[in-house]
């Protein structure tokens, strides 16, 4: 997979929607983590979809600390530790849902749970929040747009290539 030099900005970041996609190393890592039980959606496709007046429900399956640092705009927090018992009462089972976490492993478990509860249109954000940010898409916290991202741990932080790594 090559990098399109025309898409690089002066700061060394790619413009949103013009990213080359995940690095080959990150792609290999994700292949070892994913069970392929939940269809994925690429960051560029989700960003395009979110620009439309659609009713996509975004579910963030990380920890409270990770979510507080940053998340996708409008995402609902679902603590990873509560996935097995969460019932999602009052949520339309036919509503399109996109789940995500840092890299996509925890969110795939959430997607499996949603399927078991009868949700029909569930997708997992490919590469998770890391790939979303790496491709130049925005994240938010309670104050608004932010460059801060919680990298989960020192072990996983090398896969987050953009944004400010914040361990709060």
Q: What is the pLDDT of residue 21?
A: 82
3-state secondary structure the chain: CCCCHHHECCCCCECCCCCCCCCHHHHHHHHHHCCCCCCEECHHHHHHHHCCCCCCEEEECCCHHHHHHCECCCCEECCHHHCCCCCCCCCCCCCCEEEECCCCHHHHHHHHHHHHCCCCCEEEECCHHHHHHHCCCCEEECCEEECEECCCCCCCHHHCCCCEECCC
What was the pLDDT predicted at 53? 85
Q: Note the pLDDT of residue 168.
A: 80
Predicted local confidence at residue 15, as pLDDT: 53
Q: Say what the pLDDT of residue 17 is.
A: 52
168 residues of the chain, pLDDT tens digit each: 333 323 333 333 445 555 568 889 999 999 999 999 999 999 999 999 999 987 899 999 999 999 999 999 999 999 999 998 999 999 999 999 999 999 999 999 999 999 999 999 999 999 999 999 999 999 999 999 999 999 999 999 999 999 999 998
> Residue 43 has what pLDDT?
97
């Amino acid at each position: 997979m090559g990098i399109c030099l025309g898409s690089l900005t002066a700061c060394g970041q790619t413009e949103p929607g013009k990213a080359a996609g995940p690095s080959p190393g990150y792609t290999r890592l994700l292949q070892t983590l994913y069970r392929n039980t939940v269809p994925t959606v690429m960051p560029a496709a989700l960003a395009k979809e979110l620009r439309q007046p659609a009713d996509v429900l975004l579910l963030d399956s990380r920890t409270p600390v990770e979510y507080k640092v940053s998340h996708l705009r409008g995402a609902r927090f679902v603590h990873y530790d509560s996935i097995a018992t969460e019932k999602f009462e009052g949520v339309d089972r036919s509503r399109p849902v996109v789940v995500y976490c840092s890299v996509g492993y925890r969110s795939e478990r959430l997607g499996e749970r949603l399927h078991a509860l009868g949700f029909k249109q569930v997708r997992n954000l490919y590469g998770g929040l890391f790939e979303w940010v790496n491709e130049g898409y925005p994240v938010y916290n309670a104050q608004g747009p932010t460059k801060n991202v919680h990298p989960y741990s020192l072990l996983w932080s090398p896969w987050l290539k953009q944004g400010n790594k914040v361990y709060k």
